[in-house]
Amino acid sequence: MDKRSRVLGTFLGVTLATVLLPGISTILDSPPWEVILAGAVFLIVNQLIYSYPNNIRTAPPVLLLLLAVIGIAQDTLVWLLVSWLGSDMEYGLHVDGFLTALLGGVIVRVTVLVLLALGPQPETG
């Protein structure tokens, strides 16, 4: 269930950031597919670099803060990667600058962490 929450949170966060931030725009006129492509890039990178606590409800606050900061930096770089890939392929999303990418990273990471906190927790034993 943890993986489903991360996948859903990632796609929901990318969609929210695309809708809420004026600095993130689609390159062509097919927004659903461009957002799905950006979400796929986020999922691939987030699977390669796992920066989530095992159990978010019992994790120490310092660990949560550290992983959140690392995750926001990671997601900011992924937004810049998505923008670079989009401009190179002439398809996808365009991010106006670093501040927009940073805000997008915050939205994606907070969305994923909230869904992880609300979902069922892995059993320890």
Q: Could you report the per-residue pLDDT of 25-53, keeping only the tens digit for each?
A: 888 776 677 788 888 888 888 888 877 77
61 has a pLDDT exceeding 70 = yes
| Residue showing tokens 């401009």 | 87
Query: Looking at residue 124, what is its pLDDT?
Result: 59
> Phi-psi region for residue 65, left (φ > 0), alpha (ψ -120 to 50) or beta?
alpha
- Average pLDDT of the segment spanning 64-86: 90
Residue 94 pairs in a beta bridge with 25
Average pLDDT, the chain: 85
For 47-61, 72-86, 94-108, which range has the lowest pLDDT when averaged over its residues? 47-61
Using the CB atoms, write b or e for 79-104: b if 16+ within 10 Å.
Answer: bbbbbeebeeeeebbbbeeeebbbbb
* pTM for this predicted structure: 0.86
For residue 24, what are the CA distances in angstroms to 7, 64, 105, 114, 123?
21, 27, 12, 22, 38
Q: Which among 25-29, 37-41, 87-91, 94-98 has the top mean pLDDT? A: 94-98
